[in-house]
Amino acid sequence: MPADSNLPSSARDSHTLVQTTGIIPLHAFSDNYIWLITNGTHAMVVDPGQAAPVQHALAERKLSLVAILLTHHHQDHVGGVAELVAQTGAKVYGPAGEVLPICDIALSQGDQITDQDLQLSLSVLEVPGHTAGHIAFAGEIAGLPVLFCGDTLFAAGCGRLFEGTPAQMDESLAKLAALPAATAVYCAHEYTLSNMRWARAVEPDNQTLQSWQARAEQQRAEGQPTLPSSIGQELSCNPFLRARQPAVAHAAAQWAERTLNNPVEVFAALREWKNNFR
């Protein structure tokens, strides 16, 4: 069932376009990001685990919240939804396969969300693994390729498998890896530096990863987010997207101290390695 947002439109300054600066990170809890998409008058938010950061941003920027996009049911992604809906009347879009506090439009693979005023066109991808019904939103904003992936893909990492299997998560990540290399990856947590320390243990000679890590360390030292990354960066540096690379498979087998017979077994060993990495 295609889902069109049918969001309210209003007169907009023709020079006000959504660029990358129109996707704003709002900090929540210790390391969550709520992504606010705006054209200067209206806004959507992705995964508001807390209402307060969104309320502050709306008031500070004089924005009207028209939609909330949810990737999965975990409380640190949905905890602010009810309060925001009560305050703004925003319509809530979320995965059809999960129990959510509020969901006006239930989304499945291939459904669409569009908004002409925000110059936004997103397709739904079903990406189970972290949770059973997790979804991601991939498409374009103002002609620029974007991905809002919740806790499925992180910079140099991926989500833990709370409800899914290694095979499911490997398949889900393959969907994301197939997106254009320039796609900006807006994940939901600032886990980049810890993920990179582990990724360097997997591929200590990866020069691209080393350069990216240096940039990320500088960004964090300056109090800046390390995100978004890009699909191209992840393909070059993220072990979970590189399970089919001989060097990564070899490192995983060495850590596991057993033969790994296929990419799913490599992925499972990598996930176990990351779970236990300190």
Q: Known catalytic residues?
A: 72, 74, 76-77, 130, 151, 189
Distance (Å, rounded) from C-alpha 259 to C-alpha 267? Answer: 13
Cα distances from 8 to residues 19, 67, 139, in angstroms, run 20, 10, 20
> Pseudo-torsion of CA 84, 86, 87, 92, nearest 10°?
40
The H or E element that residue 37 is part of is strand 32-38
Edge-to-edge, what's the strand order for the sheet holding 105-107? Answer: 23-28, 32-38, 42-46, 64-69, 91-95, 105-107
Contact 107, 124 (CB under 8 A): yes
Distance (Å, rounded) from C-alpha 256 to C-alpha 123? Answer: 37
The H or E element that residue 212 is part of is helix 207-221
> Pseudo-torsion of CA 45, 48, 50, 55, nearest 10°?
10
- 50 Cβ contact list (under 8 Å, min separation 6): 28, 29, 32, 34, 79, 80
Both tokens assigned to 106: 């239930």
Cα distances from 194 to residues 34, 157, 189, 197, in angstroms, run 20, 9, 11, 5
